[in-house]
Amino acid sequence: MEVKVRSVVVFAVAAIAFLAAMYAIFRPTEESRIIAAFSRASNVISKSEGESILTTAAKTSAIADLADAKIKVSVPEQGFNATIAPPEAARHATAVRASCVSISVRFDNVRVQSIEGDVAHATAKMVVSGSGIESYLSTHQTRHIDAYLKKSAADGKWRFSAVSVDVVP
């Protein structure tokens, strides 16, 4: 009987140690969470041809959730430089999406430059392509993104607090 109890205790301790080690190894790092914010942005800004109005509404809400309480947006090529609230950021992104039959936004080479407390600085290459694009974009463009993200104390998500979009030379 004593051997069974000892075996169960040893097995339980080993299982807990194994699970703790797996959690430590596979737990997302802050850097991977920041990169995931770019991935979320790519998913919600992109639009497939024939997207339903319900999907558009859901993505508009998701776009607003990507932004911190105030987000500074700078697009020198468009002459746009403003600090806006998440709903306004969503309206601007939705206007760009609405002008396209389809649009694909992809962030390549996302590099986290620094993380200091709850503020991170990251850069990326944004590749945009689509069809039926009106005044906002040509059919295929590459842009440089310089972004600052702030980690929310409420839910731990990294949200964009400043974004600068520049033409790649």
Specify if 119 maps to a domain: yes
Mean pLDDT across the chain, nearest whole number?
Answer: 86
Q: Is 86 contained in some domain?
A: yes
Pairing relationship of beta strands 67-75 and 158-167 according to DSSP bridges: parallel
pLDDT, residue 99, reads 83
Question: The CATH number of the domain where 34 resides is what?
Answer: 3.10.450.50
Convert the pLDDT of each residue in 127-154 to its tens digit.
Answer: 988 877 554 555 678 899 999 999 998 9
In a domain, 4, yes or no: no
Residue 46, pLDDT > 90, answer: yes
Tell me whether residue 62 is in a domain.
yes
Q: Domain for residue 47, yes or no?
A: yes
- Residue 147's pLDDT is what? 97
Confidence at residue 42, expressed as pLDDT on a 0 to 100 scale: 95
pLDDT band at 93 (very low <50, low <70, confident <90, very high): confident
Give pLDDT, residue 27. Answer: 59
Tell me the residue range of the domain where 42 lies: 30-167
What lies within 8 Å, CB to CB, of 157 at 6+ separation is 33, 37, 65, 151
Number of domains in the chain: 1
Answer whether 0.95 is exceeded by the pTM: no
> 157 or 18: which carries more pLDDT confidence?
157
pLDDT at 155: 92
Position 55 in a domain: yes
Question: Among 88, 81, 75, which Cα is nearest to 136's?
Answer: 75
Residues 6 or more apart whose Cβ sits within 8 Å of residue 43: none
Under a CB-based contact definition with an 8 Å cutoff, are residues 63 and 163 in contact? no
Total number of residues shown for the chain: 169
What pLDDT sits at residue 152?
93
CA distance 47 to 86: 19
Give pLDDT, residue 98. 85
Tell the burial category of 73 from Cβ atoms under 10 Å away from its Cβ (0-12, 13-18, 19+). buried
Report the SS3 class of residue 75: strand
16 is a domain residue:
no
- Measured between alpha carbons, how far is 117 from 38 in angstroms, rounded to an integer? 19
pLDDT of residue 96: 82
Q: What are phi and psi of 11, to 5 degrees?
A: -65, -45
157 located within any domain: yes
